[in-house]
Structures are given as structure tokens and as C-alpha cells.
Amino acid sequence: MIATVNSDGSPAATPVRFYSLGFEIFYTSWNDSPKSRNLRRDPRVSAGIVAPLVGQASSRGAQIFGMARTLERDDPDAAPYWEAFRWQSDHVERGRRLDEPPTDPLTVITPERIVYTEHWLRKQGYRPRQIWRPE
């Protein structure tokens, strides 16, 4: 789930299929989508990633707070992200040809803070919420 800020200041949360490279996550989105328009105006973003629950005490997931940037398909900086992006499965699901890679831009989220929650960490003597910030 990606949360952006609408022009009136209200939040807009959108589910996305994302991929990761290091601590960054990224996804494709056409430039006229509401989330892309919101990010052009205000690049602050939050992403929520949740793991399936196996009980009440098993909550596990991450919140990523950071800044988003858009890389067009022909941007040289996009190459490592496209290499990590598994677009072929998405194309098969949508009935698209595998010899025609996507031309959509990539939105890359660089985290400024990650909050990881896993309640099972208590059993090992750790707090269930861990916070990461870049050095």
C-alpha cells in the first residue's frame, strides 16, 4: 500500500505490486495516475508492507517513510531497477507479449525511516518495533 498526499491535504492510499532493490522499493505507474500526480506535487510517501498473519500475536510488517522519484523508461538511472523488476509475470497475467517490455515509468521510494514490527521478537528479548534510519 502506497500513501500519498492529495492536493487538499487528505491521504490517498493505493495498493501496488512493488519490487525492491536494497532498501528502496519501486513500482510502475502511468504518469497521469492520481498517485503519480500527487507525488509530482509532494514527493513524500509512506508504504505499508504486511506479512500474512498466523494469529493475533504474529503481526509482522514494515512501514516505509521516504521520498519518491519517477524514472522514465529511457533514464539511465532506471537500468538497475528494470533489471530487478519481474515484469514478465505481470505481462503474462495481463495477456501482453513478452517480447515487448513495459514502457511505463518507475516510481522509486527511497526510505528515510523504516519501522519494522514483529511481535515474535519479544520471545527473543527484543522490542516488537524496530526503527531503521540511513546513516
CB neighbour list of residue 135: distance below 8 Å, 6 or more residues apart: none
Q: Is the pLDDT of residue 86 over 90?
A: no
Long-range contacts of 121-128 (CB under 8 A, 24+ apart): 128/59
pLDDT above 70 coverage of the chain, percent: 99
User: What tens digit of pLDDT does each residue of 51-80 get?
Assistant: 877 776 677 899 999 999 999 999 999 999
pTM of the full predicted structure? 0.88
Q: Report which of residues 102 and 64 the model is more confident about.
A: 64
Right CATH for 2-132 from 3.40.50.620, 3.40.50.300, 2.30.110.10, 3.40.710.10: 2.30.110.10
Q: What is the mean pLDDT of residues 3-12?
A: 96
pLDDT above 90 coverage of the chain, percent: 67
Domain spans in the chain, listed from the N-terminal domain onward? 2-132
For residue 77, what pLDDT is reported?
Answer: 96
For residue 57, what pLDDT is reported?
Answer: 67
Give the number of other Cβ atoms within 10 Å of residue 27's Cβ. Answer: 20
